[in-house]
Structure 1
């Protein structure tokens, strides 16, 4: 630990690391608070109720991932703030349209939802999905704007608000006796609403009207057409892969998906926080990097991420079966075994996630799309056709996904090498 502290101190003035530390500092505490709150909510709400909310969250996450047609991510790239504002308006229009369609479809497909997951309460509250999609997608858009402006403190604070607000809201509803899906849903919505309105109130510069020389919306849509044509399918496939697992498990039993979701949330929450912080900063720096420097940055990021993940994930693998029942209660007996099965996958996810934007910056989105198709098809196919028991199936799944992520690292390294070759040709 002494060597790690020394390294951090010695590098504190490095702009990339400094920005990463801004996003990570303080938010670790908020994630700890969220985990502590989940100890109580796990005793207030049953696995079946968490299963209902997991299906709702999976559906809205898939839709939110594509609601802006990936133009939200494009806000970081232009040199001109006016062009970025026009892109933001284009993304917002797309989000509003998709959100309205989501609500309409939730009413129209009510019987389909009941047939697939066998739960009328889930179908009853699905129309709120449109509002959830809007909040999730717009907050992501605003985060990319603040990423563009290097306002990492605002992004960090917003992540805290979303995490603590949603978890705290669920606890409040549980304590006052609303221990159905409605309690979990309204708790999450309260956190999202507060985070959205706070962040939007700070984005006055983003809401300014573009200048007279700003490009038209049609122009920026055509200029950045690779985002909806190539990056959007990649984002959709990735979202379906992650959330499709939850949806498939939910068709067997909502209680089972509740167990899975608790294990995933507890393990993925701090990982997602670190990944989100590193990825935001890494993407911004990659957008400015010159040929000849890409591959070294990728390789040093991979090495440090591997070192960062080794010890904590080793402990998770050893202790999780005992730890989950001790902390969350006997009704969550399967969650610990599920956490152990997922460990290899999540460990490699910590390594690959920060460099995933390499394929956007190097215009290799088609590489990532091809990989994403395999990465999505493999787990979903295995879950549907596995002849093994549930935990054994997840154990194989964890190692299978880890191997695929190693392949992804090799691809990222190659993309960096191709980008750097431009310096040699010049």
Structure 2
């Protein structure tokens, strides 16, 4: 009986992953097909400036709802989940307004600190980008709440397809930095509106909405998850800011292409598995705590098997692929991709199971580990920024150390819970 139940958990989990992975493959193909066209329209320096803007939007976007969006999935009752959703909208609106005011009065100081002085004149783009980023995240977690994995996968395809298509359309009209940003927010807006009605209809607000009680109930999300995710995103975006500081905007453009070709496709799959794992792991933990360990083990094994083939392809064939598709002008991208592939592999096999700390209410462990990773990566990269190659190897080695330690902590905590509940 136990074996049948565990098999059902595993089979349901990977069936849902398969649903989302199909859309991920489509999204990756869209990116691969459109990138050669986009790189012909936009110069490396324009793409580099755009990469810097997107990195800053990502850093603030992931904390724009104070991570309350993750709590949409957790409650057993829909009326509580609906209150969490409204709380997310209030948090997002407040955050973007405060961010706008902060950048209005101190944009020069903040952007100089991030080595993004070339964005000072367009600082207002950041809170706008964060707003659309946050809305899209709320929609995705709302769809996951009701296990609408097909709709979740379609939302991702809509976002990628519309963004990439609009980049080409706007590039034909006027290939500029603003054109790229308009494509970014339009892509998020289209995908958000396409699934807004579906996600909100599935979670009906209660007549007696007690927002403060909900905020208090899930207070660990803003207090632990928010700084943790902020530190983690900043840590992952460190190469962008180091390149902006010690190299040129053109070099950032080469990195954008490398990032689009390797990190984004693998992140799309990793994020898909992350969302399904979070939903299934929350359900499993609420039903039978000891089964969470088995779900973690089976997921990790599958991730390793999925991650090895692209690692070998990108590591050994990057130079050939870039030269064949993009030409000699982008040769630096191929060199970057070799090293980035190693980092992407370790991140791929770790990120999806990162929500385990949240599920078992051990966000403090995750926060401390993430903060240490930020410090470790920063100081190692600071000492090895003499060349692009040494900078990326420094990032890769420090990342590998962090992800291995992360897995060790998750393994030990979940195995202890499994033993305690036998």
- 2:217 aligned with 1:223, yes or no? yes
Question: Which residue does 1:254 correspond to in 2?
Answer: 249
- The equivalent of 1:236 in structure 2 is 230
Residues 210-359 of structure 1 correspond to what in structure 2 (within 5 A)? 210-212=206-208, 216-252=210-246, 253-289=248-284, 290-359=288-357
In 2, Cα distance between equivalents of 1:69 and 1:357: 15
Match of 2:166 in 1: 169
Say yes or no: does 1:96 pair with 2:93.
yes
Q: Check whether the contact 1:345–1:398 (CA below 8 A) recurs between aligned residues.
A: yes
* Aligned positions of 1:128-147 closer than 5 A: 128-147=125-144
Give me the TM-score of the superposition, normalised by structure 1.
0.91
CA distance in 2, matches of 1:402, 1:118: 26
Determine if contact 1:316/1:343 at 8 Å carries over to the other structure: yes
Structure 1 alignment gaps of length 5 or more: 1-9
Gaps of 5+ in 2: 1-6
Post-superposition offset of 1:223: 1.1
**Distance in 2 between the 1:292 and 1:119 partners?**
47
Structure 2 length normalisation: TM-score?
Answer: 0.92
1:188-203 alignment, distance < 5 Å: 188-203=184-199
Deviations 1:196-225 (CA, angstroms, capped at 9, x unpaired): 21121323425633144x5x1111111111
Q: 1:196 to 1:26 in 2, by over 3 A?
A: closer
1:343 to partner: Cα distance: 1.7
Greater shift in the superposed pair: 272-281 or 101-110: 101-110
How has the CA–CA distance of structure 1 residues 17 and 343 changed in structure 2, closer, same or farther, with 3 Å as cutoff? same
Residue deviations 1:19-60 (CA, integer Å, cap 9, x gap)? 111111243123201221011111111111111111111111
SS at match of 2:76: coil
Q: Give deviations 1:276-307, integer Å, cap 9, x for gaps.
A: 21111111111121122122221121112111
> For this pair of structures, how many residues does the alignment match?
412
**How many Å apart are 1:344 and its aligned residue?**
1.5
Give 1:107 deviation, angstroms. 2.9
**How much does 1:100 deviate?**
1.6
Moved over 4 A (4+): 10-13, 113-121
2:33 corresponds in structure 1 to 36
